[in-house]
Amino acid sequence: MNRIDLDGRVAIVTGGAQGIGRAVAERFAASGATVAIWDVDGALAARTAAEIGQGATGQAVDVTDASAVQAATEALERAHGRIDILVTSAGIAGPNHKTWEYPLEDWARVMRLNVDGTLHCCRAVVPGMIARNYGRIVLVASIAGKEGNPNASAYSASKAAVIALTKSLGKELADRDIAVNCITPAAARTRIFDQMSEEHIGYMLAKIPRGRFLQPQEVAAMVAFLASAENSFTTAGVFDLSGGRATY
C-alpha cells in the first residue's frame, strides 16, 4: 500500500462502520488522519473505530437528520479545531422494481439518505472549510448514476443527483483550496447487496468487463488521493471505478 500523506488531517467518513466506508476509514487512519466514523449504527461504528485504533472514533449519526449532522460537526470542530476531509459513504440501494411500480415510500427513503444526507453533511462542513481556506470532499456516487440501472431507478437517480451536486459545489468553491470530487464505483460485494435481488446482482456483474466485483480497498486507494493535499487542482470531477464498464 502506498502511503498517502494525511498526517494531522481530521476526517469524517459517513457510513464508515462497514463496507466501502470502513475501507476508507482504515486507509485514512493508516495515512495519519484522525478519523471520525459516522454511522446510523452507533454500536457498530464504535466497534469499527476500536478495531481500527489510531485515534479513530465512532458514533451514531443519522445523516438524514440535518440538526444531528450539524451538532456532530460542531462537536468535532470543538474537539479538533477543524475538519479537513469529508467522505460521504452512507447510502442504501433500495429494492428492485420497475420504475412505474416503484413504491413511493421506498423512493423517498432512498432519496432522503443518498441525496439529502449527502447535502446535510456538505452544508455542515463547508463553512468551516471556507473559513480555513482548506478542504477535501469526496462524495460517493455510483456508475448507476451515469448509466441508469434497470429496476433500480431510485438508486440510479439518487446517484445522478450526487454527481450533479459534486459539480455544482465544486464550481462554487473552486476559487479556494477546497476540492470537491465524486467517485462512481461499480458494484462492490458489501452488505448493500442484501437489499438487491440475485437477478440484479448478476446483471451488475455481467456489465463489468473485468469480470469481478470491485474491492473496497480499491475504492479507498482512490479516495485517499482525492482527500489529500496533493489533489490541489482537480475539483468538480467524477472518477470512475467501474472495471471498464463506464461508457462516458
Domains of the chain in start order, with CATH, are 10-241 (3.40.50.720)
- Summarize the confidence of residues 207-211 as an average pLDDT: 89
Establish whether 155 is a catalytic residue.
yes
Average pLDDT value for the chain:
95
The CB-side HSE value for 103 (13 A sphere, CA atoms) comes to: 7
pLDDT digits (tens, 9 = 90+) for 33-54: 999 999 999 999 999 999 999 9
pLDDT band with cut points at 50, 70 and 90 for residue 203: confident
pLDDT at 193: 66
What span, in angstroms and rounded, lies between the C-alpha atoms of 141 and 158? 8
Check whether 238 has a pLDDT greater than 70.
yes
What span, in angstroms and rounded, lies between the C-alpha atoms of 47 and 189? 21
Determine whether 247 is exposed, middle or buried from the number of CB atoms within 10 Å of its CB (0-12, 13-18, 19+). Answer: exposed
pLDDT at 192: 66
Catalytic residue, chosen from 102, 155, 203, 248, is 155
Check whether 23 has a pLDDT greater than 80.
yes
Residue pointed to by grid coordinates 433500495: 94
pLDDT digits (tens, 9 = 90+) for 143-191: 999 999 999 999 999 999 999 999 999 999 999 999 999 999 988 777 6
| Three-class SS state of 154 | helix
Percent of the chain with pLDDT over 90: 86
DSSP 44-62: HHHHHHHHH-TT-EEEE--
pLDDT at 195: 66
pLDDT digits (tens, 9 = 90+) for 75-88: 999 999 999 999 99
Q: Which residue type does 180 have?
A: V
Q: What is the largest CA-CA distance in the chain?
A: 49
